[in-house]
Amino acid sequence: ILNVEQSPQSLHVQEGDSTNFTCSFPSSNFYALHWYRWETAKSPEALFVMTLNGDEKKKGRISATLNTKEGYSYLYIKGSQPEDSATYLCASRGSQGNLIFGKGTKLSVKP
């Protein structure tokens, strides 16, 4: 079973701050890395699916990078807004094609 680690566990920032968090995963047998945003009382929403070393993806103020050789991905949020408050999950796809999730980073953005 793959182990996916996320840090920090939680993060409190002020509106307008930029922030980033980390996802670590085993670099062997890597297939894909997923990022999800999970707002309270809603369903997890897919942000990015990344497969290639050096991949960078962007969606509005949110972007992500991928390093498959060393087994990490960063998620960046530029100019955080209160609506960015959510738990951000990363997940690594294993050999059977199923996702292994980390515990998530809970982001709180204060106005």
Partner 1 sequence: EADIYQTPRYLVIGTGKKITLECSQTMGHDKMYWYQQDPGMELHLIHYSYGVNSTEKGDLSSESTVSRIRTEHFPLTLESARPSHTSQYLCASSVDNNYGYTFGSGTRLTVV
The residue ranges that bind partner 1 (CB under 8 A) are: 1, 4, 31-32, 34, 36, 42-49, 51, 89, 91, 93, 97-104
Nearer to partner 1, 60 or 97 (CB): 97
DSSP code for 111:
-
Contacts of 43 (CB under 8 A, 6+ apart): none
State the virtual CA torsion across 85, 9, 88, 39 in degrees, nearest 10. -40
Q: Which is nearer to partner 1, 60 or 111 (CB)?
A: 60
CB of 95 to partner 1, least distance (A): 11
Q: Which is nearer to partner 1, 8 or 16 (CB)?
A: 8
H or E segment and range at residue 88 = strand 86-93
To partner 1, the closest distance from the beta carbon of 12 in angstroms equals 17
Residue placing its CB nearer to partner 1 in the complex, 8 or 79? 8
| Residue 14 Cβ vs partner 1, minimum distance, rounded to whole Å | 25
With contact defined as beta carbons under 8 Å apart, do 90 and 4 qualify?
yes
SS3 46: strand
